[in-house]
Amino acid sequence: MSLDVDVDHRRGNFHLQARFTAAPGLTALFGRSGSGKTSLVSIVGGLIRPDRGRVSVDGQTLVDTGSGVFVKPHKRRIGYVFQDSRLFPHLSVRRNLLYGRWFARGSGGATADLGAVVELLGIGPLLERNPESLSGGEKQRVAIGRALLARPRLVLMDEPLASLDESRRAEILPYIERLRDEAGVPILYVSHSVAEVARLATTVVIMAEGKVMAVGPVQDILPLADANDGGAVLDATVSRHDETFHLSVLQSVAGELQVPRLNAAVGAPVRAYIRARDVMLSLKPPEDISALNVLAGRIASITATGGAQADIRLDCNGAVLMARLTAKSVDRLALAPGRPVYAVVKSVSFERS
Amino acid sequence: MTAEEWTAVRLSLLIATTATIFSLPLGIAIAWLLARGRFWGKSVLDTLVHLPLIMPPVVTGYLLLLSFGRRGPIGSFLADEFGIVFSFRWTGAALACAVMGFPLMVRAIRLSIEAVDQRLEAAAGTLGANRLWVFATITLPLCLPGILAGAILAFAKSMGEFGATITFVSNIPGETQTLPTLIYALTQVPGGDAAAMRLTLVSIAISMLALLGSELLAKRIGARRQTA
């Protein structure tokens, strides 16, 4: 799959000018509200007609204002999961799920099977219910299933978790991960949550004020993502569980990490998100401290943020780690690029993955 | 009740039912255009639809006579080409009733179409449904209660229509004499009071039954939505 977007769209004072190419897997459009993320997916989905530009999927041109091409939304075969699930209130969950199947017939692509999708999303017990009786999390799972069963070649998700509370979010995230890994449908995912992007994304597109600021693999891009809440993504595998203290031990290139017991099998790949503000630096191996995780590394760069703070980029055996310290500490420890340091990370600061 | 009275009741029901059924598709189409359409002359169409509501019924009936009568431009065309005659026939009474009930029907349906969440229609579009399918599977089922209300209003209006009917098709027993026109005729003759009273009660009963029926139907639609 390939999605190529290059558009220019004005709405009042807002000017969207974006160009990016999405790779297979999950591509996250990340940015604050008002940065143009939703406008961009609406253009891809065909709900907004851009002033100028091109959109193409798998080589098929969906929009080209130059030659007057505009494929209507119902002919694009692009699934759309909205923030408000938009289930049809007069149809049962089953009939909601099957709605797109009438139209998907004969359009090629893998046969999306109701049984498989129901199993993937865990919505079997809901089939005969009516949408109004579902919880927010259940509604979103049904909405995802409905989009999948229309046999899309691309699924757009516009902040699908934004209207849900923390526990409901945790309930859906694993299903989106399964979707990314098992269903093989590329996803364009809009979010302003670093935690969601860190956990789900393969590729990140950072947007600000209608423009694409950066595009790349999540590990490289996320440290730049948010000035207020910077951090780094660390890929790891579960090496064992410590049942006595309810901990899981993860193995990553940067070293061993101990995190609260994960609900994942030994050997399973997980992704840890480490916030810059949760990392302390020490020049010597620290002893007698409460934090469990100490990673050895080398300072790659120091960026002064202008105020009292500085962002330190660490190279831990090839993995990137971010630390946010006061400028005073940087001065006191005489930190400089190339200097070996020890990063102290509090266990609790790991995003469960 | 006399045979003449029964005939009037039967004719009234036939005329009101025919008027409602035949105006419903056009009513839905016009209501959709007024609710969702963006076109030049929309306010003109809106005014035209509402005209029978604000004009004196006699004027509407007279205009119908001028245009749909045997010598009228539309009436003569329909009679010559298709053999459809409206003037002084029960079909003419149905036409008069349909025209008089049309604004009420369109108003009710239009409001219910405007109340349908357009975001649901957009969602159906992304699932592959074209505009016609979206209308048939999302918009129409969701505004069914409004369509029902519009149909009942038009039916009730038709059962009571007097001015336009009597002007356009007169008051011919067995052909165009409906409940209201017969009641009117009875009040004009000495000793007709008892019969007029009987028909008044029949008229009230039919109105109440129609209302009750629509309530039951609306409840069933609501119940189906709950269990669906």
Within 10 A of B29 (CB to CB), how many other CB atoms are there?
A: 12
pLDDT at A163: 80
Torsion of CA A190, A191, A192, A197, to 10 degrees: -120
Q: Residue A147: list chain B partners with CB under 8 A.
A: 126-127
Interface of A to B at Cβ within 8 Å reads 45-47, 72-80, 82, 84, 86, 88-92, 95, 99-100, 102-104, 107, 130, 146-147, 150
Provide the residue-wise pLDDT of chain B in tens; the chain has 228 residues. Answer: 888 899 999 999 999 999 999 999 999 999 999 999 889 999 999 999 999 999 999 999 999 999 998 888 999 999 888 988 898 899 999 999 999 999 999 999 999 999 999 999 999 999 989 889 999 999 999 999 899 989 998 999 999 999 999 999 999 998 999 999 999 999 999 988 999 999 999 999 988 888 888 888 878 776 665 544
Shortest distance, CA B170 to any CA of chain A (angstroms) = 46
Which of A44, A80, A98, A99 should one mutate to test binding to chain B, selecting the residue with the greatest count of B CBs within 10 A?
A: A99
Handedness of CA A31, A34, A35, A38 (dihedral sign): positive
User: How many helices (H) and strands (E) would you count in chain B?
Assistant: 12, 0
Contacts 24+ apart (CB under 8 A), A166-175: A168/A135, A168/A136, A168/A137, A169/A137, A169/A196, A170/A352, A171/A137, A172/A137, A172/A140, A172/A141, A173/A199, A173/A200, A175/A120, A175/A121, A175/A122, A175/A141, A175/A144
pLDDT at B99: 96
Shortest distance, CA B213 to any CA of chain A (angstroms) = 22
Residue A60 near residue A94, CB atoms below 8 Å: no
What is the enclosing helix (H) or strand (E) of B134?
A: helix B131-134
Residue B167 near residue B57, CB atoms below 8 Å: yes
Q: What are phi and psi of A351, to 5 degrees?
A: -75, 130
Instruction: Say if the Cβ atoms of A88 and B124 lie within 8 Å.
Output: yes
Q: Residue B228: list chain A partners with CB under 8 A.
A: 90-92, 95, 130
Greatest alpha-carbon pair distance for chain A in Å reads 69
CA distance A196 to A37: 15
Which amino acid is located at B150 in the chain? G
pLDDT at A228: 56
Shortest distance, CA A79 to any CA of chain B (angstroms) = 6
Shortest distance, CA B118 to any CA of chain A (angstroms) = 10
Cβ-nearest to A90 among B126, B133, B225: B225
Q: What is the mean pLDDT of chain A?
A: 85
Please name which of A276, A287, A242 lies closest in space to residue A349, comparing C-alpha atoms: A276
CA distance B70 to B205: 36
CA distance B159 to B153: 10
CA distance B54 to A173: 59
Instruction: Say if the Cβ atoms of A88 and B225 lie within 8 Å.
Output: no
Instruction: Say if the Cβ atoms of B126 and A130 lie within 8 Å.
Output: no
Instruction: Say if the Cβ atoms of B126 and A92 lie within 8 Å.
Output: no
Residue B61 near residue B92, CB atoms below 8 Å: no
Within 10 A of A226 (CB to CB), how many other CB atoms are there?
A: 18
What band does A217 get if pLDDT is binned at 50, 70 and 90? confident
| Domains, chain B | 3-227 (1.10.3720.10)
pLDDT digits (tens, 9 = 90+) for A222-270: 766 655 566 777 888 888 988 888 888 888 888 888 888 877 788 888 8
pLDDT above 50 for A110: no
Within 10 A of A241 (CB to CB), how many other CB atoms are there?
A: 16
Q: Residue B94 CA to chain centroid, in angstroms?
A: 8
Shortest distance, CA A98 to any CA of chain B (angstroms) = 10
Q: Residue A100: list chain B partners with CB under 8 A.
A: 127-129
Q: What are phi and psi of A102, to 5 degrees?
A: -55, -40
- Nearest residue on chain A to B117, alpha-carbon basis: A86
Q: Residue B227: list chain A partners with CB under 8 A.
A: 130
Tokens of A198: 């860190």
Cβ-nearest to A130 among B126, B142, B226: B226
pLDDT at A87: 94
Q: Residue B122: list chain A partners with CB under 8 A.
A: 47, 73, 86
Within 10 A of A346 (CB to CB), how many other CB atoms are there?
A: 15
Q: What are phi and psi of A61, to 5 degrees?
A: -80, 125
What is the enclosing helix (H) or strand (E) of A140?
A: helix A136-149
pLDDT digits (tens, 9 = 90+) for A257-309: 888 887 778 888 887 778 888 888 999 888 888 888 899 999 988 887 777 88
pLDDT above 50 for A109: no
The three-state secondary structure class of A70 is strand
pLDDT digits (tens, 9 = 90+) for A310-325: 888 889 888 888 888 8
pLDDT at B70: 86
Q: Residue A43: list chain B partners with CB under 8 A.
A: none
A133 against A274, higher pLDDT: A133
Interface of B to A at Cβ within 8 Å reads 119-120, 122-130, 133, 137-138, 141-142, 225-228
- Nearest residue on chain B to A148, alpha-carbon basis: B127
- Report the range of poorest mean pLDDT among A56-60, A181-185, A296-300, B49-53: A181-185
Residue A157 near residue A148, CB atoms below 8 Å: no
Cβ-nearest to B126 among A80, A95, A107: A80
Tokens of A74: 């119902």
The three-state secondary structure class of A18 is strand
Q: Model ipTM?
A: 0.81
| Domains, chain A | 3-224 (3.40.50.300), 231-349 (2.40.50.100)
pLDDT above 90 for A93: yes
Most confident of A168-177, A210-219, B26-35: B26-35
Q: How many residues does chain B have?
A: 228
What band does A353 get if pLDDT is binned at 50, 70 and 90? very low
Name, in order, each residue with C-beta under 8 angstroms of A21's C-beta and a sequence gap of 6 or more. Answer: A2, A3, A4, A5, A215
First to last CA, chain A: 26
The residues pairing with A247 across neighbouring beta strands, listed in sequence order, are A242, A260
Average pLDDT over residues A172-189: 85
What band does A347 get if pLDDT is binned at 50, 70 and 90? low
